[in-house]
Amino acid sequence: ITHLKAVLADEGMRMGIIKDELREVKEKYGDERRTDIVASGADINIEDLIADEPVAVTISHLGYIKRTALTEFRTQGRGGVGSKGSTTRDQDFLEDLFVATNHNYLLIFTQKGRCYWMRVFDIPEGTRQSKGRAIQNLVQLDADDKVVAYLNVSDLKDPDYLNGHFVTLCTKKGIIKKTTLEAYSRPRANGIIAVNIREGDHLLEAKLTNGNSHIIVASRDGRAVHFKESDVRPMGRGASGVRGMNLTGGPKDNEVIGMIALDADNPGERQGLVVSEQ
């Protein structure tokens, strides 16, 4: 006890004991390193760090977008008043809502015929009450361009899925174009050409089809044309497309106002709903 008290009272003795013990450790274990430390060339894939959970993606008329966990929306019985899905700015309103998973891809099409894409997990996350973020802040849109369509795509890697699905486009002048989804699987930061838009025209709609869909195109004067998707041959992204609806003979301001694609194999998609302004 006297020795221990002396050690505690004398810093020099304590340091001497520590040095002696460290020398013993060095003599016993001081051989060369038996393992190598090397730099790893592997990149971290952000996708592996994000759970592939279902989310609700909401998009407003002015292009504010967000994703919200489905757990934010509680189940209500028939006849309920519903719950607020998004807060919008003045003169804005909710225009699109769909369910995706975090690992899905979002194809974004503009009036000029360009396509941009992003992962769903890159869409800003928000609550039901938040407004979201302007799409112009997420992709490099031209100042005079405008987003007109969004496609929720589950896979851009599987060759069978890519070659078995198509992006079908329609312009306001009635031009139709179909391109394999595979042509959209290699993104660029400044977007890619989806269709060559002719002067005086602009892209109106984009639909994801499976090669066996039925296409219905409607015009402002109340007319509609129905044809099989297989009647339109696939084209490259740089092509202009073919005439899907003849607008001659109608009013001067006649133009296409919408296109829908119905899955022929799905009995629930054998009817279409048409709503006029009045």
Statement: residue 84 has pLDDT above 80: no
In the chain, how many H helices and how many E strands?
3, 15
Q: Which of 7-21, 217-231, 259-273 has the lowest average pLDDT?
A: 259-273
Specify the pairing of strand 54-60 against strand 94-101: antiparallel
Range of the domain at 99: 49-73+84-154
Distance CA 34, CA 11 (A): 36
Residue 234 lies in a domain: yes
Distance CA 226, CA 214 (A): 7
State mean pLDDT over 140-151. 92
Distance CA 213, CA 114 (A): 24
State mean pLDDT over 29-51. 76
Q: Tell me, yes or no, whether 133 and 223 share the same domain.
A: no
Q: Tell me, yes or no, whether 164 and 147 share the same domain.
A: no
| pLDDT-derived band at 88, boundaries 50, 70, 90 | low
Statement: residue 277 has pLDDT above 90: no
250 compared with 194, residue with greater pLDDT: 194
Q: Tell me, yes or no, whether 104 and 178 share the same domain.
A: no
Q: Tell me, yes or no, whether 142 and 166 share the same domain.
A: no
Residue 1 lies in a domain: no
Which of 110, 129, 154 terminates a domain? The answer is: 154
- Digit-coded pLDDT (tens) for 203-257: 999 999 999 999 999 999 999 999 999 999 999 998 999 999 999 877 888 999 9
Q: Helix, strand, or coil here: 189?
A: coil
Distance CA 81, CA 169 (A): 36
Q: What is the structure's pLDDT at 28?
A: 82
Going by C-alpha positions, the residue among 241, 115, 261 that lies closest to residue 175 is 241
Question: 229 — alpha (psi -120 to 50), left (phi > 0) or beta?
Answer: alpha
pTM: 0.76
CB neighbour list of residue 135: distance below 8 Å, 6 or more residues apart? 59, 63, 64, 65, 108, 141, 147
The number of distinct structural domains making up the chain is: 2
Q: Tell me, yes or no, whether 164 and 263 share the same domain.
A: yes
Distance CA 145, CA 112 (A): 6
